Structure 1
Amino acid sequence: MIPMERASPEERRLLKLFRALEPQDRATLLAFAQFLMAGGAANDTRPSNQKDETDALAQQPRPEPRPQDESVIAAIKRLRRVYPMLDPGEMLHETSSLMAAHVLQGRDAGAVIDELEYLFSAHYEALSKSDAQEP
């Protein structure tokens, strides 16, 4: 028999809430959980000196083609690979707002992905300008 780990009070509460949701709302909750797992500053556990070395090597975007039927979550992951020099923590509010507009308000994925691409590009341009102005 495989030993079962006892669920924490938070896990039990989440499961109870999940079970009370309609199927469409369950899918929304799962999509949002996937989004949260996809990134954020809290997920970067590299030592700061390793971040600096890695970031210095990643100053240019690495373009990837946009898949035809790309999900919003997959687009965020792709854009983080394309723009590894950007701090996901600085963009978390804007990115999560766009994700919420898609998941919670039913906004079209293609339109949200277009805005995400613009957002990442604009942040990259701002970073490039600030780097160029440093002595």
Structure 2
Amino acid sequence: MLMRGGVSLTPSEKKALHLFRALSDEQQQTVSAFMEFLATRGTLSPSQKPAQPVEVARPEQESVVKAIKRLRATYPMLDQNKLFHETSEHMTGHLMHGKLAAEVVDELEAMFARHYQRYCDELEK
């Protein structure tokens, strides 16, 4: 029986743990970062600092799709719906217009950093 501090886990906790264990290490890091984000969401006081990006190293050679996944894991606090349009434009530039992957990844990194700065600015208001 799964226990937490001498208390049995609830069915939903058991299911979450089972699903979590089935994920790759990278996916587990992403889920953990997202859970940390959710735990702080809506509870920030003016004196608290914004969630920090999760350090996920950029591989030497990386596809645009993998870069997007890495950047989403790096910045789990950002609203992906707000990033969708810009991210799609960069992907289109790569797929349809032949823009080099490394160049698009650089642009995506700058875009995510810009959105993170906006996120920080909004919390400071």
**What residue is the counterpart of 2:38 in the other structure?**
53
| Structure richer in helix, relative to its length | 1
1:95 counterpart (78, 82, 87): 87
1:1-135 maps to which residues of 2 (within 5 A)? 53-54=38-39, 56=41, 59-133=51-125
**Partner AA of 2:93 in structure 1:** A
Structure 1 unaligned blocks of 5 or more: 1-49
What stretches of structure 1 move > 4 A for 4+ residues in a row?
none
CA deviation profile, 1:69-127 (whole Å, cap 9, x unmatched): 10000000000000000011001000000000001111000000000000000000011
**Partner AA of 2:61 in structure 1:** D
TM-score by length of 1: 0.57
Identity of aligned residues (%): 40
Structure 2 unaligned blocks of 5 or more: 1-34, 44-49
Equivalences, count: 84
TM-score by length of 2: 0.62
- The CA distance in 1 between the partners of 2:39 and 2:105, in whole Å, is 27
User: How large is the RMSD of aligned CA atoms in angstroms?
Assistant: 2.2
